[in-house]
Amino acid sequence: MKNLTHGILSLCLIGTLLLSACGKSNDADSLSNSEEPSNTTSQSAPSTNTPSDIESLIEPGENEAIKDITTADFKEGVSIDFDKYEGSFFDKNIISKLNNNLQSVVENNKEKFKENLNKESLESIREGFYYTNESDQFMFYDLDLIEKRDQPEQIRVGVRFAKKSSDGNIENQGITYFFTKNEAGEWGIENID
- Show me where the domains of the chain are located: 51-57+73-192
Confidence band (pLDDT; 50, 70, 90) for 43?
Answer: very low
The answer, yes or no, to whether the previous bond of 152 is cis (omega within 30 of 0) is yes
189, with CB counted inside 10 A (0-12, 13-18, 19+), is buried
Q: Are 97 and 179 in contact (CB under 8 A)?
A: yes
- How many whole angstroms separate alpha carbon 46 and alpha carbon 40? 11
pLDDT higher than 90, residue 30: no
Question: Residue 149: CB partners within 8 Å, gap ≥ 6?
Answer: 49, 53, 54, 155, 156
Residue type, 16: T
Q: What is the mean pLDDT of residues 108-120?
A: 85
Confidence band (pLDDT; 50, 70, 90) for 37?
Answer: very low
Q: What is the mean pLDDT of residues 141-165?
A: 95
Q: Which of 13-17, 95-99, 150-154 has the lowest mean pLDDT?
A: 13-17
Q: What is the mean pLDDT of residues 116-126?
A: 71
Prediction pTM value: 0.69
| pLDDT score of 111 | 86
Q: Which CATH architecture has domain 51-57+73-192?
A: Roll (3.10)
| pLDDT score of 95 | 97
